[in-house]
Structure 1
C-alpha cells in the first residue's frame, strides 16, 4: 500500500500543517476500510465457529468411545486406577474423575464395583466433616461384593471435634462390618476409642495382609486365626510406653517378634 509519505515514515520528520491535514484525510478513509474488514472478520469468525460446532457435535455423536460396549468401557475405567497405591478421594483421579465426564460415564462408573474396591485416605481428611465420613461409607457400598483394600493413615482418630468420638467409632464399626471382604487393610494409627469398633470384625476369609497401630487391649480382641489367605501381619502395639512390634511374614512359616509380651503370640 503506497503512501506519499513513505519516505518520511520511521524518521524524525515533522509534517507541515498542510501535510498534516493530508495525512488525516488519508487515515480517515483507511480507518473506514479497516472497520469494514474487522466487521467482515467478525461475521466470518461467527460463521466458522457455528460450522465448527456443528461438525464437532456430530463427530462426537459417532465417536468410537460412545459406541464401546459398557463391559469394555468398564475395563478401561478400571485400568485408570492407580497401580502403586489405593485410590484416593480426589476429583482429579479415577474413579471420581470418571464421574465428571458425562452422565453416561457417571452412571457406568457408579455401577462398576471394582472401581470402588480400594481407598486410601488420611484420617485428618475424613474426620473433620460428617459428609466426608458418609462419603467413605458410600464409597464402600459401591464396591458391592469385591475384596477391599483400605488404607486409613495419620493422626486424627482421637481428635475430631466436628463429628465426635461416637461417629468415629460408628465409622470403624461400619468398616468392621465389611471384614468378610477385607483383602489388604492398614489402620495406622488407630485410637483406642475408634479401635473398639474392630470388636465387630467377624470372619476374614479374603484377608491377605493387615497392618494396625493401636493399644494392646484392642489387639487382643482381633482374632486372625480365621484368615486362611493371610500372609502379612504388622501389628504395632502402642500403650504409651514406647512402640512394640509383632511382625509375622509370612504367617504360616516365620515368626519374628521384638519386645513383645508373651500374651501376644502366634494364635495357633
Structure 2
C-alpha cells in the first residue's frame, strides 16, 4: 500500500508539472543547440561585395578670387582698424648682409604696380637712357613747334633743332621757304615765351623731297614677235584663239624690215 501511495504522489507531481508547462507556467524545455555548418570552404576567404554609395560627393569649390585692387583696399582697411594708435608698422626683415629677405621682397613685389614699357625705358641708364631722353625731348619740341605753326605749313616743315643757340627748319621747296620765313618770324616770340628761352633767328634750309623712282618703260611688241603671232594664228584650227592672236599682233605698227625666214632663231 505504501508503494502504491508513493507512485501516485509521483504521478500527480509529474501531471501537475506537465499541466504547468502546457499552460505556460512552468520552465521552458531546454532546446539542444543546433550545430552550425560552415558556409564557405575552409582555407578560402569569403568574397565581400562592394555596394555603391547612394550619393555622389560634390567637389569642393574654391572661393572666387578677388581683384588685386579690392584685396589691397580690404587689407589696408583691416590694418588700419587693427593697428593701435601710436604703433608704427614693423620694418621689413633684413638678412645678415643688410638686404631685404627673399620672402619679404616677394610679398612687396606681389602688391607693387607693374611698370609700363615707357616707364621701363625711361629708367634706363647709360647710352640707351640718354638716347631715349633725347628722343622724348625731340618729340615734345616738335609738338610745341607744330602747335604754333599754321596748319597749312605742317606738311612742308621739318624741325631739325630748337634751342637757345640755333633754330633750324627744313622745307621741300623755295616757295614754301618764303612762307615759312614769315610764319616763323610771327611765332618766334610766343614760342620762346612758352619754352622759357630767347629763340635765335630761324634758319630755313631747302631740302628737296626724295623723288620717286622713274616708272618702268612699257613693254612693247616687237615686229618680229608680231609676225610670229600672225604665222601661229594662221596655223591654228581654233577660230577664237586665232582671232585673239591676230588682234595681239595688230599692236605692232610697222612691218618687219626683213622676212622672218632670214632672221636669227629665238633663244
Query: Structure 2-normalised TM-score?
Result: 0.21
- Bigger Cα Rg: 2
More strand by share: 1
